[in-house]
Structure formats: C-alpha cells, structure tokens
A and B are shown apart, each in its own frame.
Chain A
Amino acid sequence: MEQRRVLEVKNLKTSFFTPTGEVKAVDDVSYHLHEQEIIAIVGESGCGKSVTQMSVLQLIQSPPGKILGGQILFEGKNLLDYAPKSQEMRRIRGAGIAMIFQEPMTSLNPVYTIGEQLTEVIRTHTKCSRKDAWQIGVAALEAVGIPDAQERMRNYPFQMSGGMVQRVLTATAIACRSKIIIADEPTTALDVTTQAQVMELLLSLVEKYKTSIIVVTHNLGLVTRYSHRVYVMYAGKIIEAGATEDILMHPWHPYTRGLLECVPNLTEDKERELVPIQGAPPRLQNLPPGCAFKPRCTCVSGLCRDEFPTLRRIGPNEHWVACHLDAEVSQA
C-alpha cells in the first residue's frame, strides 16, 4: 500500500555564492515524508542537512544563498513557486511546516517573554483575541510537558534551559497545528536524559496530532530508535536511503558503515573500539568529479575517480545507494 506523501522534495539544489566560489550545499537532493512518519536525515556536520531543511521553508539568506532548482511539494503545491517573502510562504511557515532549530538558547528573542512570542505566532496564523491566543499557548506548553505553564509564559528565554526552550518551540508548532515538524539536531545541545525525552516527545506528537516529523542529526544511534526511514547525506547529496532496519542491518555505502561504527553500542561488549571515519568531510566548493567520499573511502575502485555514482535501488525493499561498490564486496 502506497502511503500518502505529505512532503516531497525533488532534485533540490541550493548554493552559496561566496567570494571564493560556489558552495554547492545541497546538490540534487530528493526525499519524501509520509503521513505520521518520522524520518531521519543523517550526516556529519557541514554536509548540507540544515541548508536542505532551510530551503524547504525558503529561509536561505540571499545573498549569498540561492535555491537553484527543484520542487518542494506540500499540500499539492510547489513551494518554490512562491516568493520567499510572499504571504503564501509565510502562511506555511509555522502553521504548515514548523522548524525547531539547532541552537535552542539563541533561537528565541531575548527581549520578549515566552508568552509574547508564542501568542504573536498564534495570532499570525489564527484569527483570535490576545486572551484566546494566551490560552492556546498555555495549553500547548502543557501538551509538551512544561510544568507551571502559566508561570512559564511570563518567563524570558534566558530564564529557561535549552531543553525547555526546545519544548517551547515544539509547543509553538503544536499551537499552530503544523502538519510537519522539522527538528534540526534537536538532541545535540542536550544531555543524554533530555535527549531521550525530546525524542519521546516528538514520537508522542505523531500519535496525538498526526504530525509528520523530520529529524536532522549527526548521531545515527539515538535517532534510529525512533525513525521509520533514514536518509544519509554526504557533501550535499543523499548517498543512501532506506528503511531504518535496512540501513542499520545492511548498510551499503562505506560512509554509512563508517557512521554506524561511530555509534557507541551499550548492548554489545564494551571492549569494541569506536572507529571514527578517517579524515574530514570535503569543503563543498570546487569538488572534483567522481565520488565525493573517495578520499576517505576504504574500498575505492577506478570508477569512483571519474564518475559520480547515481542513486540506484538495491534489494527488494526501497533501499537506495549512491556507490559503485558491488553487492558481494559490500556484504563482505
């Protein structure tokens, strides 16, 4: 049975035009999100995950950034047909697709209270009185498990912890009945217990509000426990995609396997050494032809040098990979 796709990104390309050249931060990226699904977008830092998500809401700073092509299909419309500052685009931001940003501590305006900021967003998207907006806000804060919600509405962001601010942003998305929540590194700035709480909260939203969620992360370990499908990004491209168990059990791309080896696994024996991937991700300008991963790859063949591997489907499931490696070698 084919599930309904609430978001479909097709061949998205976003570049930054810097004095030193074009930075291809997002290079022909396609992915989709089903109703009530959680997907994970995984990759090392600097590989274009955030820029991809910012492009979806057309929040790319321009100049230097520019969305060069592709389609973003949401509720039957291509969002790229709208101008970034258009009324239509603004209506979708927050109320259709809401974003929770990477740095919670700097994500809210320091000179306004939580209540002032929350009610302003609510009143932007819903015709209602200040009082009603306040009530909706309080209810949303309670829904994300913030104690003393009335009290908290009068707090300023600096009086809260990072985890709490993240919940406030999540509450904002809920208050506006957002269909999709994009959480950019929601766990990175938090301690381990809070990380799990944040993920549990997001999971609960899927059931309670029928939300669909995109989680961006560089930590394959935590997210995969919650996501249905995984997209692996490298150097501005998706290099592997598939159902979470396929990616975890049969990772194909050497990069994906490298990422998995970085994950501390508490159930396995503790002696196992964590093997980080050698080297660093490439800078995304003037990339040479061929596979972007080849300088760090352990199984380079002649083909990798000259030809960029396109995404191809492997196996019976929807498991895709962009790698020249053959099945036998990969499974070895």
Chain B
Amino acid sequence: MINFIIKRILVSFVVVFLVSLFVFSIMHILPGDPVRLAMGFEATEQDVQRVREQLNLNKPLVEQYVLWIGGLFRGEFGISIAYHRTVAALLQERLPRTINLGIPAMIFAIIVGVGFGIISALWRGKWIDQVITLISTLGAGTPQFWLGIVGIYIFAIGLNWFPMQGYTAPNQDFALYLKKAVMPVFCMAIVMFASLARQTRSSMLEVINQDYIRTARAYGISEFSVIFRHALKNALIPVITIIGLQVRVVIGGSLLVEQVFNIPGIGTMLTSAVSNRDYFVVQSCVLIISLFTVAANLIVDVLYGVFDPRIRLARG
C-alpha cells in the first residue's frame, strides 16, 4: 500500500507537470497581447515594450516557461498584468473563498447523497424512494448555472430568503456567510449529490442480495449491523469511484457557479483572466485546480484500499 501511494504521488507530479506545460502553451498560442489589453490603446508602443521586458515576455517561450516554473518553486506565481498585483497575493485573497464554498459543497454532496441513496434502497419502491429518485434524476441533468439563476429568481428576488449574490468570509460574519453560501453550495453540489445518491442506491440494492448478507442474517447479526456494517462497506466501494469522478465536476461547476453568484473566487478571476490573456493568473489558477483534482484522486485511491482489502493486499 505504501509503495502504491508513493507510485501514485509520482504519477500525480507528472500529471501536474503536463498540465503546466499544456496551459502555458495554450495561453501563449492564443492570439491577443495581455500588456496591450491591460494598458489600453492610448499607451505608446515604447511603454508597452518596456512593460513586456519587465515581465520577461520578450524572452523565448522555453525560457519563459522555465522562469515561470522556477518561480513557482520559490513561491512566486508571477504578476497579474491586469490587476497589477502579484498572483500570490490574489490567490491568497481568493482561494479561501472558493475553498470555503467548494469543500462544503463536496461534503454536503457526499453525506446527503450517500444518505439519501441508503434511504432510497432501504425503502425501495416506497414514496420516499420515488421522491429521492426523482430529485436525483433531475439533479444529474440540470445545468448548474441555470439552477443558480432560477434559485436567485425564486429564493432571493421572489421570497427574499437569501441574499442575491456575493460572499462574506465565515470568520467575518458567520451567519451572513451561511446565508450567502446556501444557494451556491447547493448548485455546486447538485450533480455530485445526484450521482452519489443513484450509485449508492443501486450498489446497496445489489449488495443486500449477496450471499454474505444472508449469512450475516442467518447468524443472528442485528439488522443495524447488517445494513451499516456489512452491506454499507461493500456498497461504498463503487461509490468511491463516483466520488473520484465527481470531485472534478464540483471543481468545474464551482467556476461557473461563482460567475452566477458573483463570488470573487478563483472561478471569476480565472474567467476574466482568460479574456484578458492574463498569463500568470490563468496558469496559476489552472495549476492549482489540477493540484486539487490530483490530490482528491489520491485520497480516493487511498480510500479504495481502506474499504477493499482485496485491493489493499493486491497493491502490496
């Protein structure tokens, strides 16, 4: 298992490296001059050229790439051309906002999704199962930004339950943070929630019919232990796969949802940075997103081993 984890970490580094290469190339291939865009058309060609030199943008691409990566190892992410600030400072300001919504969204999706899946399986065919199945079928097919807009329309404008948009840090005003977080977190979580509920339900129903569940019952094990110890641990193995896949969906979705709710996080910054060709911001954001994705997949791989001894022992 330890060897396996080390191997996976090495693979993760390779993935992140390839991502960095990819995003760097894409940004520099795309037409459009970030400095000109930032300084406007009234700036003279000399001024623009001077800023380019300051930012090393006149150097050969390979050298630029090496300079960028080298900077990363010293904790320097470069400078935002549009914001006139270091990318590090921008990230420090914005990353917590994205995390403070994204992580609760994942936790919500996992707990409620798996919980609803179990309830659905245990009351198969009853009204509660039908309601959950309906919610998860709709949820899996609903575009997140559309849900966000409808949510704002109904719950913010119509019912006035929640603020329309924006973000407040939890340590600043926790109640307000919660109020503002409800809708975006729900929108980010909905797809993951839906697929987890569906997967949990179907794998639970499959596991319940296995011989070893019958054995547990035949030896007098309590129904509680049969469901939550014997069945659930087996049923969660395929659910972990879905968690691994859906983490990416939540991360991707949060970029869109931030737009809808006007949350000054990584998503909004990345979107405007792309149109401004703000090289260092885009590159850093994409790199950080890929780091999160890779880390999430690493956790999922470890979870596999924890839940399934066949995998744990096979990995050596």
**Interface on A for B, CB 8 Å cutoff?**
57, 59, 61, 85, 90-95, 98-99, 101, 103, 106-113, 120-121, 124-125, 156, 158-159, 169, 172, 176
Does B60 interact with chain A (Cβ within 8 Å)?
Answer: no
Enumerate chain B residues within 8 angstroms of A110, measured Cβ to Cβ: 212, 234, 308-310
* Number of A-B residue pairs at CB separation under 8 A: 74
Q: Which residue of chain B lies nearest to A157 when distances are taken between CB atoms in the complex?
A: B212
Enumerate chain A residues within 8 angstroms of B310, measured Cβ to Cβ: 110, 156, 158
Does B94 interact with chain A (Cβ within 8 Å)?
Answer: no
Q: Is the CB of A111 within 8 A of B211?
A: no
Q: Which residue of chain A lies nearest to B306 when distances are taken between CB atoms in the complex?
A: A111
Q: Is the CB of A125 within 8 A of B220?
A: yes
Choose, from B173-181, B221-229, B266-274, B285-293, the stretch at the interface.
B221-229
CA distance A103 to B212 in the complex (A): 10
CA distance A59 to B209 in the complex (A): 12
CA distance A59 to B211 in the complex (A): 12
Flag B194-229 by CB within 8 Å of A: 1 or 0 each. 000000000000000111101111111111010001
Q: Is the CB of B222 within 8 A of A59?
A: no
Enumerate chain A residues within 8 angstroms of B309, measured Cβ to Cβ: 110-111, 113, 156, 158
Q: Which of B218, B221, B234, B237 contacts A120 (CB 8 A)?
A: B221
Q: Evaluate whether A124 and B307 lie within 8 angstroms (CB atoms) in the complex, with A101-B211, A106-B212, A109-B212 already known.
A: no
CA distance A97 to B307 in the complex (A): 32
Does B8 interact with chain A (Cβ within 8 Å)?
Answer: no
Shortest distance from the beta carbon of A58 to any chain B beta carbon, whole Å: 9
Q: Which residue of chain B lies nearest to A103 when distances are taken between CB atoms in the complex?
A: B211
Q: Which residue of chain A lies nearest to B211 when distances are taken between CB atoms in the complex?
A: A106
CA distance A158 to B308 in the complex (A): 11
Q: Which of B220, B234, B237 contacts A109 (CB 8 A)?
A: B234
Q: Is the CB of A124 within 8 A of B234?
A: no
Does B52 interact with chain A (Cβ within 8 Å)?
Answer: no
Q: Is the CB of B214 within 8 A of A91?
A: no
**Interface on B for A, CB 8 Å cutoff?**
209-212, 214-223, 225, 229-230, 233-234, 237, 307-310, 313
Query: Could you list some 14 contacts between A and B, CB below 8 A?
Result: A59-B214, A85-B223, A93-B220, A94-B218, A107-B212, A107-B215, A108-B212, A110-B234, A110-B310, A111-B234, A112-B233, A121-B220, A125-B220, A156-B310
Enumerate chain A residues within 8 angstroms of B216, measured Cβ to Cβ: 109
Q: Which residue of chain A lies nearest to B212 when distances are taken between CB atoms in the complex?
A: A109
Q: Evaluate whether A169 and B217 lie within 8 angstroms (CB atoms) in the complex, with A109-B230, A156-B313 already known.
A: no
Q: Is the CB of B220 within 8 A of A91?
A: yes
CA distance A134 to B168 in the complex (A): 54
The CB with the most chain A CB atoms within 10 A, among B210, B211, B223, B308, is that of B211
CA distance A103 to B211 in the complex (A): 8
CA distance A125 to B230 in the complex (A): 18
Q: Is the CB of A124 within 8 A of B211?
A: no
CA distance A108 to B309 in the complex (A): 14
Enumerate chain B residues within 8 angstroms of A103, measured Cβ to Cβ: 211
CA distance A91 to B233 in the complex (A): 25
Enumerate chain B residues within 8 angstroms of A176, measured Cβ to Cβ: 219
CA distance A61 to B209 in the complex (A): 9
Q: Which of A90, A111, A113, A169 contacts B215 (CB 8 A)?
A: A169
Q: Evaluate whether A111 and B217 lie within 8 angstroms (CB atoms) in the complex, with A101-B211, A156-B313 already known.
A: no
Given A91-B220, A110-B310, A111-B309, output 4 extra A-B contacts at Cβ < 8 Å: A98-B219, A109-B215, A113-B309, A120-B221
Q: Which residue of chain A lies nearest to B236 when distances are taken between CB atoms in the complex?
A: A111
Q: Is the CB of A124 within 8 A of B222?
A: yes
Q: Which residue of chain A lies nearest to B221 when distances are taken between CB atoms in the complex?
A: A124
Q: Which residue of chain B lies nearest to A106 when distances are taken between CB atoms in the complex?
A: B211
CA distance A199 to B221 in the complex (A): 27
Q: Which of A59, A91, A172 contacts B217 (CB 8 A)?
A: A59
Q: Evaluate whether A121 and B230 lie within 8 angstroms (CB atoms) in the complex, with A59-B214, A106-B210, A106-B211 already known.
A: no
CA distance A107 to B219 in the complex (A): 12
Enumerate chain B residues within 8 angstroms of A120, measured Cβ to Cβ: 221, 225, 229
Q: Is the CB of B220 within 8 A of A95?
A: yes
Shortest distance from the beta carbon of A289 to any chain B beta carbon, whole Å: 34
Q: Evaluate whether A57 and B212 lie within 8 angstroms (CB atoms) in the complex, with A109-B230, A110-B309, A111-B233 already known.
A: no
Enumerate chain A residues within 8 angstroms of B211, measured Cβ to Cβ: 101, 103, 106-107
Q: Is the CB of B313 within 8 A of A121?
A: no
Q: Which residue of chain B lies nearest to A58 when distances are taken between CB atoms in the complex?
A: B217
Shortest distance from the beta carbon of B122 to any chain A beta carbon, whole Å: 13
CA distance A109 to B216 in the complex (A): 8
Q: Which of B209, B219, B237, B308 contacts A124 (CB 8 A)?
A: B219
Enumerate chain B residues within 8 angstroms of A90, measured Cβ to Cβ: 220-222
Q: Is the CB of A101 within 8 A of B210?
A: no
Enumerate chain B residues within 8 angstroms of A158, measured Cβ to Cβ: 309-310
Q: Which residue of chain B lies nearest to A118 when distances are taken between CB atoms in the complex?
A: B219
Shortest distance from the beta carbon of A165 to any chain B beta carbon, whole Å: 10
Q: Is the CB of A101 within 8 A of B215?
A: yes
Q: Which residue of chain B lies nearest to A108 when distances are taken between CB atoms in the complex?
A: B212
CA distance A120 to B215 in the complex (A): 12
CA distance A109 to B221 in the complex (A): 13
CA distance A158 to B212 in the complex (A): 13
Shortest distance from the beta carbon of B311 to any chain A beta carbon, whole Å: 10
Shortest distance from the beta carbon of A17 to any chain B beta carbon, whole Å: 15
Q: Is the CB of A93 within 8 A of B217?
A: yes
Enumerate chain A residues within 8 angstroms of B223, measured Cβ to Cβ: 85
Shortest distance from the beta carbon of A158 to any chain B beta carbon, whole Å: 6
CA distance A215 to B45 in the complex (A): 96
Q: Which residue of chain A lies nearest to B207 when distances are taken between CB atoms in the complex?
A: A109
Q: Is the CB of A93 within 8 A of B219?
A: yes
Enumerate chain B residues within 8 angstroms of A59, measured Cβ to Cβ: 214, 217-218
Shortest distance from the beta carbon of B91 to any chain A beta carbon, whole Å: 41
CA distance A92 to B309 in the complex (A): 31
Shortest distance from the beta carbon of B235 to any chain A beta carbon, whole Å: 10
The CB with the most chain A CB atoms within 10 A, among B210, B215, B219, B313, is that of B219
CA distance A98 to B219 in the complex (A): 7
